[in-house]
Amino acid sequence: MTASYAAQPETTRGRRFPEAAPAYRSEFQRDRDRVIHSKAFRRLEYKTQVFVNHEGDLYRTRLTHSIEVAQIARTVARSMGLNEDLTEAIALAHDLGHTPFGHAGQDELNACMQAYGGFEHNLQSLRVVDWLEDSYAEFAGLNLTFETREGILKHCAVKHAQGLGEVGERFLTKTQASLEAQLTNLADEIAYNNHDIEDGLRSGLISLEQMQQVPIFAQQYALVVQKYPQLEGRSLVRETLRRLISAMVVDLIETSQAAIDASRVQTLDEVRQQAKPLIQYSEAMWAAKNELKRFLRENLYFHPTVYRMSWRAQRVVRELFNAYLQDSRLLPPKYQAFIKQYEQAAGETGRARAIADYIAGMTDRYALKQYAELFDMDRVKF
């Protein structure tokens, strides 16, 4: 039984292209299933989370990250009486538009696109499900419900929101998304903060000694050592992280439920009219979480080894973009056709957007392969 303020598939705002109701599943289940069967979802297996895909088999990828976000988000949704199917659909789709090479790839593609409207992976994820997937005879994209699409679009600048119609409206009116969308946004943070710790420790780029400088980690670590004094190695790390995730999730559920109760909202429309999101951490957890993020940024994401990987990745993205912009005949026929179509509508900006679509859809290894074919003269065959 879902709460009265949860999103209900029977009262969805609908799809961009009308379809008959699905048999034996809800509208939100259909969204989830379409995401799972999409090409963009399969590509996430070979896209970087922090470490480039070929660095090791045990590091997170965008695919494993998305599955972990979905697990955390579903737990929160079920505990709070929210719609679990919608939550899962949003979680699995939230990174569909992410570039190869993680945030390094996104930042570089955004830099390349500055003269053409920029690039942002949340907008690109929406673009993937609205236009770029091509599995259906009657429409482009996946034709997802409004509720799933608004959850995918976590952030959006006003200049972009103005061109997105209903799904961008809340960024103009300063209203809120559904509770399912709100909680998935924070589940994303819980997943990547904790799992980046594990990958960082596994790689040796950060140490347990360093991690114990972070109070929220040190507290859980001390409890584990006290209860299991013989535990060591990866089991010690995993037990600590399991407890850390649990602490964050419990805080999120209890604080959010208290905020919902205090607001006295009864419907989804009332949720949308709130001045700020109702899914939230306590002040103490918010501060602790931000301190953890600062630590990871300074000690892992900007670690010299990761920075060098990021630098090389940015060069790959930049040089591919410039080459395709200079000569679109280097692109596959499908994207050459896109360029002609986009140029008719938006000129040079349309041309650049088609190239960004192509690069954003690449996996790490495909981008490296394209780069080698264009620029590694030792491998070129004439």
Domain with residue 131: its CATH number is: 1.10.3210.10
Residue 203 lies in a domain: yes
Cα separation, 110 vs 200, whole angstroms:
26
> Would you write out the chain's pLDDT as a tens digit for each of its 382 residues?
899 999 999 999 999 999 999 999 999 999 999 999 999 999 999 988 765 554 544 578 899 999 999 999 999 999 999 999 999 999 999 999 999 998 899 999 999 999 999 999 999 999 999 999 999 999 999 999 999 999 999 988 888 898 899 999 999 999 999 999 999 999 999 999 999 999 899 889 999 999 999 999 999 999 999 999 999 999 999 999 999 999 999 999 999 999 999 999 999 999 999 999 999 999 999 999 999 999 999 999 889 988 898 999 999 999 999 999 999 999 999 888 888 888 888 899 999 999 999 999 999 999 999 999 999 756 555 4
- Tokens 């037990």 sit at which residue? 239
Handedness of CA 209, 228, 75, 199 (dihedral sign): positive
Residue 113 lies in a domain: yes
> How many other CB atoms are there within 10 angstroms of residue 341's CB atom?
12
HSE, CB side, 13 Å, CA atoms: give it for residue 258.
Answer: 9
Please tell me the pTM assigned to this model.
Answer: 0.94
Cα separation, 42 vs 38, whole angstroms:
7
Residue 20 lies in a domain: yes
State the amino acid at position 151 in one-letter form.
G
The residues that bridge with 61 in the sheet, in sequence order, are 48
Residue 351 lies in a domain: no
Cα separation, 339 vs 347, whole angstroms:
9
Cα separation, 141 vs 98, whole angstroms:
16
Residue 141 lies in a domain: yes
Cα separation, 45 vs 243, whole angstroms:
27
Asked if 20 and 95 touch (Cβ cutoff 8 Å), the reply is no
Residue 208, CA distances (Å) to 90, 306, 334, 337 in order: 34, 18, 49, 52
Cα separation, 308 vs 52, whole angstroms:
11
Residue 289 lies in a domain: yes
In this structure, what token pair is assigned to residue 95?
A: 């990174």
Q: Which domain holds residue 63?
A: 15-306
Residue 355 lies in a domain: no
Number of domains in the chain: 1
Residue 220 lies in a domain: yes
